[in-house]
Amino acid sequence: MSKEIVIVGGGPVGLFMGIALLEHGFSCTILEQRKELISDTRSLGIHPVSLELFDQLNLTETFLENGIKVFEGIAHTGKRLLGAVTFEQCPEPYNYILINPQNETERILRDEFLKRSPSSYKTGIEVTHIQQGSDHVDVHYGENGHKKNLSADFVIGCDGKNSRVRQAIGIHYSGKRYPDTYIMGDFEDNTGLNTNAAVYLPAEGLIECFPLPGNKRRWVVKTDDYVNSPTAEQLSALIKDRIGHSIPVSTNSMLSSFGVQHLMAESFQKGRVFLVGDAAHVVSPIGGQGMNLGWLGAWNLALRFKNGTTEGYSTSHQVVVKKAAMRAEMNMKIGRKSRFPLLKETVLKGILHSPLRHILAKLFTMRGLDNWWV
């Protein structure tokens, strides 16, 4: 039980990993290169499977104080209503997706980690290299311009897509880039949709919008090509052309572009070193599951530490990641331009008005991915 575990990276997954390890009685230290929290709000959706894990770590209440509960996602062609995916029939109490911007999520997780272990979250530390010995791992890092090192029993790389930890242990990271590109922006909410999410599937390509705290709404719009410097006017014109809705351009508070990849490390473990979160896998953000998938992996690993053997972490979580990646790919395909828009509309309408919509609700809420521990 006196094992010293070093977590490299204090993003949403590293912080959750730390809280889960502390909960199971392990001592751990988080090394984070940033001195400040991110201002970036990129991920929004917290799924019921994660809320159930938060319950076990006494985190749920704080998240519920901050987030918005989305019970329903409405689907449109832009001109015609197709139907709705309602999460209200999903298992209670978490029969909704909680919306919380990523910077808020990281703030809550950081504060919760600090409450449990105030001196174990170290910022301004950039891990430069790690080296495994037979019974320990040397972690080399830079702090205030000085080179330093420490020794740990285990190292967990939660250091994101370009993970130094993964590179240091020579684990191959591969996958594919999809042709899909998007721009997204936050604006004052003038839709009247309240806390509902909406997905529009006009022939020209997907538009999604989600409620945000402070009466704002995030719009995500599929583009033909990657847009280097998107403008609010551009986003607004695409929305107006495709679905006829005018967003309040002058209230724009965030804009960005993104392309989509699926990447996975060939293994999530080598000796005493583990990879969790984006360091191990990246899935398409359409469907909003990457961070949640990282939390599932972190929980899987923490339970294995508790049970005294980490064997099986890599293979079991890879199965979960592959399933999630397939679902994310399906979400993206539905949102692509269609050569047969009327056929697509008829099929989707059929699904949304049949019991199959409950299966969709399950897929969107990440059910059926994570049942390896039951």
Ligand X SMILES: Cc1cc2nc3c(=O)[nH]c(=O)nc-3n(C[C@H](O)[C@H](O)[C@H](O)COP(=O)(O)OP(=O)(O)OC[C@H]3O[C@@H](n4cnc5c(N)ncnc54)[C@H](O)[C@@H]3O)c2cc1C
If we measure between CA atoms, which residue out of 259, 267, 256 comes closest to residue 218? Answer: 256
Binders of ligand X in range 220-279 (CB under 6 A):
258, 277-278
C-beta of 112: minimal distance to ligand X in Å?
15
Smallest separation (angstroms) from ligand X to the CB of 256: 7
Report the nearest approach of ligand X to the CB of residue 294 (Å): 5
CB of 83 to ligand X, least distance (A): 22
**What type of residue is 254?**
M
User: Which lies closer to ligand X via its Cβ, residue 158 or residue 321?
Assistant: 158
Q: Enumerate residues 112-171 that contact ligand X by CB under 6 A.
A: 125-127, 158-160, 164
Tokens in use for 46? 């917290």
CB 27 to ligand X: min, Å: 19
Single residue of 29, 86, 105, 289 touching ligand X by CB under 6 A: 289
Strands ordered across the beta sheet of 154-157: 121-123, 27-32, 4-8, 154-157, 273-275, 269-270
Cβ-based nearer residue to ligand X, 140 or 349: 140
Least Cβ distance, residue 133 to ligand X (angstroms): 20
Which residue, 95 or 123, has its beta carbon nearer to ligand X?
123
Residues 6+ apart with CB under 8 A from 239: 207, 219, 221, 245, 246, 247
Write the single-letter amino acid at 262. H
Least distance between ligand X and beta carbon 42 (Å) = 4
* 3-state SS, residue 265: strand
In the chain, the amino acid numbered 251 is T
Please, what is the angle between helix 356-364 and helix 341-352, to 10°? 90
How far is Cα 134 from Cα 304, in angstroms, rounded to an integer? 20
Nearer to ligand X, 13 or 221 (CB): 13
Q: Name the β-bridge partners of 189.
A: none
Nearer to ligand X, 52 or 126 (CB): 126
Contact indicator for 51, 94 with CB cutoff of 8 Å: yes
Options 6, 7, 11, 362; binder of ligand X; rule CB under 6 A:
11
Q: Which of residues 45-64 bind ligand X (CB under 6 A)?
A: 45
When binding is defined by CB under 6 A, the residue of 6, 28, 32, 202 that contacts ligand X is 32
Q: Which of 232, 242, 211 is nearest to 45 (CA)?
A: 211
Distance between CA atoms of residues 22 and 66, nearest Å = 24
For ligand X, the closer of residues 15 and 348 by Cβ is 15
The total of other beta-carbon atoms located within 10 Å of residue 56's CB is: 11
Report the distance separating Cα 174 and Cα 254, nearest Å.
Answer: 30
Query: Does 109 engage in binding with ligand X (CB under 6 A)?
Result: no
- Indicate the residue among 269 and 292 with the shorter CB distance to ligand X: 292
Site residue total, ligand X (CB under 6 A): 33
- List interacting residues with ligand X (CB under 6 A): 8-14, 31-34, 42-45, 102, 125-127, 158-160, 164, 258, 277-278, 285, 288-292, 294
